[in-house]
Amino acid sequence: MLQAILDFLSCETPVAWLDEAIRQQETLLIDHANCEKKAAATAMNLLYRHTAKTDLMTRMAQLAREELLHFQQVVEILAERNIAYIRLSPSRYASGLRSNISKQEDMQLVDTLIVGAFIEARSCERFAKLAPLLDPKLEKFYKGLLRSESRHFADYLQLARIYSSSGIDSRVAYFAQQEAELINSVDTQFRFHSGVPAN
């Protein structure tokens, strides 16, 4: 599945981001917790808005449970390391992707699902790259997340295909370009999904 994710993404995480992640592990963990919480909220929002789509509701319910469990696990790691779970401003990444979601009702759901697939794919790619660079406990934790997060990527992509009447290839290509620009452009703040560090 990791190879499928790497094939799906248009670029790899820049080395400069990985270097900054090692230097800013506290911020990395805090924002990781935020990302898990937001992922659960996104799944719940889809579940509430699309009550006629049983397959979507079933998968989003499972996804929300898993993301909340991951949130809990990251919060426990923060507590073990005496890291305060402080408020952080969100990165531009998710909002940058979501700003490109179509306003047309028939395309909005499909675009939302494609964006979900990109966010999960990038998370997996970063977990895989980060894991060998971290201490043994975090390495094990991040490697352990790969299975469920890669399944979330696959679920979002499959649901997008199910609900698209005209195929998703052109929209995936469009969002791949937007996503790569966010990852490769300079970012003034470090976050789990931020771009190239400014400093």
pLDDT of residue 170: 97
pLDDT along the chain (199 residues), means of 10: 94 98 98 97 96 97 97 98 95 96 92 98 97 97 93 97 95 98 96 94
Nearest to 36 by CA among 6, 58, 65: 65
What would the 3-class secondary structure string for the chain be? Answer: CHHHHHHHCCCCCCHHHHHHHHHCHHHHHHHHHHHHHHHHHHHHHHHHHCCCCHHHHHHHHHHHHHHHHHHHHHHHHHHHCCCCCCCCCCCHHHHHHHCCCCCCHHHHHHHHHHHHHHHHHHHHHHHHHHHHHCCHHHHHHHHHHHHHHHHHHHHHHHHHHHHCCCCCHHHHHHHHHHHHHHHHCEECCCCCCCCEECC
Rounded CA separation 80/62 (Å): 27
Name residue 197's beta-bridge partners.
187
**Does domain 2-6+25-197 bear CATH number 1.20.1260.10?**
yes
Q: Token pair of 123, please?
A: 């998370």
Instruction: Write down the pTM of the prediction.
Output: 0.97
Tokens in use for 18? 């990985």
- Cα gap 106→160, rounded to integer Å: 12
Enumerate the domain spans of the chain: 2-6+25-197
At residue 84, what is the residue type? A
**pLDDT tens readout for residues 74-130:** 999 999 999 999 999 999 999 999 999 999 988 999 999 999 999 999 999 999 999
Structure tokens given for 50: 């699309």
Specify the pLDDT at position 125: 98
Amino acid 1: pLDDT? 80
